[in-house]
Structure 1
Amino acid sequence: MNATSFDRLLFSIFLMTAILSVFQAAAFSTKLFPLSPAVLGELLFALFLMLQFSATRQGMKISNRQEIIIISIFLIYSMGTAFTLPFIFEGMLVYVPRNGITLHANGFLRFSISNIGEAIYLLLNALLFVGVFNIKIYQADKKVIKVFLLMGVVALFFSLYQKISQSFGIFFPYQWVNSNAFYYQGYNQTVASGLARGSGTFTEPSYNGNFLGMYFVYYLVSVYYKLNFKRLVMALLYLYATLIATSSLGYIEIMFGVAIIFMLFISNLSGRIKISKIYVIALFSIIFSLVAIYFSHLLYLEVFDKLSSMSAIERANSNFSALLIFANTYGFGVGLGSNRPSSFALYLLSNVGIIGTFAFSLFIFFILNNIVNNYKIIDYERKSLLFAFLALLVGKIAGAPDLSFTSFWVVLIIVAVVNKSIDRSANHGAVIAETGN
């Protein structure tokens, strides 16, 4: 096979992996351990990436792109911490990753399978990023955006399907969707009122809300810039699916999306305002207000009352413990895969320390840099994707700590591919802007 054939094959495997990554709670059973569908796709991708390198000597060529350099540094450093820091700080009190974030999850730091597992997952995710980022495919940016939207449809379908199942008692394939024995499966959670929460294809409602909220923000911004009935319907469907997940992370992302729209609207007050924009803002304000009133008991239980609940206390304690770990290790952390707080930011700080956190933050900065710099002239899809990814990050920082989830890396890769596709000479008219005209 030549380099072009390998690129096409690798891109196809990535697209398959992207769809499979939505099924975060599922796994194929093996004699040793459950293997999630997305990880299986990543292993296949890594195999063919190595074959491409062996056959063409071009598949892993060094790139001068900052993203490749930074993720390589982050990978090497983080994997190094996984196999060194647990020994250096052995005996320190941590939240054992496999025990969740309950108060009884505290344990003494020691090197474990979690360190090895997180290192392997990071390696596979980094290889997926480097491989896809170097692939040369015609209109790759348009193709990955379509895949991004398809991922959302899959998650939306199973969320609505689960709600129908909960309401009417019809069959839902939990035995397949929630088959990963290595993960806690919270598909049968309820709120205080007894109402069933929605986990969809994810292990917990919080992760489902984090994912669905991202798509609500995408379609909300998309409708703001280019009014379209289909996108309006999709925005409302994702709004409903996020609300029925009863995830405080999802609600935070909803509020983030609405805040963004008002910020965009206010920023345009000095210029010419289209009637359609006013209509969209007014419509969503009314709908959001009515829905918020209708779901007020859920909002109270999941956002406000949760602040004094045992869950909130446990999450706060895990985050405070992460700060203590960061301080007591002189900013180095206890090693990748050693501690599990509630916040993604505190996960990085307590595990890979200030160096790893800075490297990953720089990685995100370079991924978003081109989109932000060319924001005024890029099309509405890229604008929507930017805010959707920011919403996902907001949710993760609020309460979705995991670095290893393939779905997060797939979205990150999609944003990176779109960012890379933006011509830096766009100011000369290479990219046609769609700013609501």
Structure 2
Amino acid sequence: MQLTIIGAVQVLIGLILFLAGSVEAMFAFLLVATLFGGSAAIVLGSLGTGSSIPPLHFALLFMVLRLLVPGSGQLAATGRAVQANAWLAIFVLYGVLMAYVGPRLFGGRFEFTPLRPTGPTGYTSHISYLLATRPFAPSAQNFTASVYLVGTLVAATAAHVACKAPSGRVTLVRTMAVVGMIHALFGFLSVVGKGTPIDDALGFFRNGSYAQLNQQVDGIVRMSGISTEPSSYAGYGSIWFVFLAECWLRRIEPYLTGLAALVLGTALLASTSTTAYIALGAYGLLVATRSLIIPGAMPADRGLWLAVLGLTGVIAGSLFLLWQPSVADRLMAFGQHLLMDKMSSDSGIQRKFWAMQGLHAFVGTYGIGVGPGSFRSSSLVTAVLGCVGVVGSLALCFHVMIAFKPLRWSTYIPMADVGLATAGACAWALFMAVVIGAITAPSCDPGCDFALLSGAALALRGRSARFHGQSTRVPSRFDPLPLTALPAE
């Protein structure tokens, strides 16, 4: 086990916050750590698989100490947070159980592509390498996958406790606005600094034991920031872009969140990632549908700003293409490669095969599941079905529904209560996390970004309802909306 420089810095900051910081300050430390998804705080050699502990999970250790140390005053709040996340706890506990039982119960009955694939040796053809499998048996990945699942539950619990604290909501909004802009900056630097000392500086943060991919297509450098690949960069950015955009729509710190959403959205548009374009398209469709169906879902001034922004983008793009007409053909070819040819490419064939493994495991185990870490997938949906079966799938669905609250007025309408408004922003961002996971996730772990957002959503809605006496009635779409104030829930 080796502590990296990033981990050493975290130890210093974590100990200071543990001894003298508040829960909100430790929560901010945790949120900043989400930025370093391609980094390693500790490299684990004992497992023999090149595993590592990411900065986010290392920061969770200090958060747990801050919440559970005797005299912290947070034990009761932690208990309530676990209770609020009860369905997620069931999902995680069943997953941890199956990570041990599944490979021993069903070992030898399947052949799967492992979660951490082996190198390209001993294959008779290219297609045999793409679709390579090995006999199903217990592995170190079952252990590491279960540890990540526990980290997801801890992240949701920590977010719930922190957002119940007096300044937890403000910490969430302001910290992620700053982190979002830094993420965008790293992305732009990874493109303009390619092959320069800037690239080496960014490479310092890519010290995780993951496949570090620097992709180029037709000479165009794809944006990856300090993430492992463009897809990971876009996935993380898309989730928090939706959170920041929703905060701006709901007038939560509008100048800060609006600027952050604009910068991060621009980076996603320039990222050349299919994940980013699918996420932005899906979010745009959701916002448009919500605005057309539900009166008051899109404030008039926000709609005007979006129209002006869209028109400005169209004009600027048209002028650029008139100045450089040859770029249009290049962009068309590039777009076709990313959006049209991808499913028939080697990557597309491989990802479809990985996704089908989950369905095969679900049917072959009669809905029990083979356990987290048993195979590599390319979709959260099929990974959950194959790894944790009916029990885990239902538990995760219930948690998503309770956190998202599709029958709450505050999910769709900007609210006067900032707690409810921020909870609504969290709800749409965690929904985007599920959408992105459904097309990219290699395992059944929904991830700590999802957990932080769901824990925050549950906390902020509960807090607002308790302290402000907000009604939970869902008004009819024909109810008159107040003209001088935003509606109460």
Query: Is the structural similarity TM-score above 0.5?
Result: yes
Query: Is 2:191 aligned against 1:163?
Result: yes
Residue number in structure 1 paired with 2:464:
422
Change (3 A) 1:29 1:173: farther
Change (3 A) 1:178 1:356: same
Pairs within 5 Å for 1:18-417: 18-30=31-43, 32=45, 34-52=52-70, 58-59=75-76, 62-63=79-80, 67-91=84-108, 92-99=110-117, 103-134=130-161, 136-166=164-194, 170-181=198-209, 183-186=210-213, 188-191=214-217, 193-222=218-247, 224=249, 233-267=259-293, 274=300, 277-278=303-304, 280-281=306-307, 283-284=309-310, 287=313, 295-369=331-405, 372-375=408-411, 376=413, 378-379=415-416, 381-402=422-443, 403=445, 405-417=447-459
Alpha-carbon distance between aligned partners in 1 of 2:298 and 2:96, rounded to the nearest angstrom:
52
Indicate the SS of the match to 1:308.
coil
| Structure 1 portions without partners, runs of 5+ | none
Shift of 1:184: 1.4
Shift of 1:113: 0.8
Change (3 A) 1:235 1:344: same
Higher relative contact order (CA 8 A, sep 6+): 1
Shift of 1:226: 5.2
- Residue identity over aligned pairs, in percent, reads 19
Shift of 1:311: 0.8
Change (3 A) 1:62 1:197: same
User: Residue 34 of structure 2 contacts residue 56 of structure 2 at CA under 8 Å; is this kept in 1?
Assistant: yes
Shift of 1:61: 6.3
Indicate the SS of the match to 2:377.
coil
Cα RMSD after superposing both structures: 3.6
Change (3 A) 1:397 1:300: same
- Calculate the TM-score normalised by the size of structure 2: 0.76
User: Residue 368 of structure 1 contacts residue 386 of structure 1 at CA under 8 Å; is this kept in 2?
Assistant: yes
Shift of 1:216: 3.5
Superimposed CA distance per residue, residues 211-254 of structure 1 (whole angstroms, 9 cap, x where no aligned partner): 22234434444555559676555444223211332221111111
Higher radius of gyration, 1 or 2: 2
Superimposed CA distance per residue, residues 88-111 of structure 1 (whole angstroms, 9 cap, x where no aligned partner): 110211220011897244222111
Alpha-carbon distance between aligned partners in 2 of 1:86 and 1:299, rounded to the nearest angstrom:
42
Number of residue equivalences: 425
| Structure 2 portions without partners, runs of 5+ | 1-17, 46-50, 120-128, 322-327, 474-483
Amino acid at match of 1:37: P
Alpha-carbon distance between aligned partners in 1 of 2:298 and 2:130, rounded to the nearest angstrom:
55
Shift of 1:420: 3.2
User: Residue 190 of structure 2 contacts residue 202 of structure 2 at CA under 8 Å; is this kept in 1?
Assistant: no
Alpha-carbon distance between aligned partners in 2 of 1:148 and 1:51, rounded to the nearest angstrom:
27
Which segment is superposed worse, 346-355 or 237-246? 237-246
Shift of 1:416: 3.4
Indicate the SS of the match to 2:134.
strand
Alpha-carbon distance between aligned partners in 2 of 1:26 and 1:335, rounded to the nearest angstrom:
26
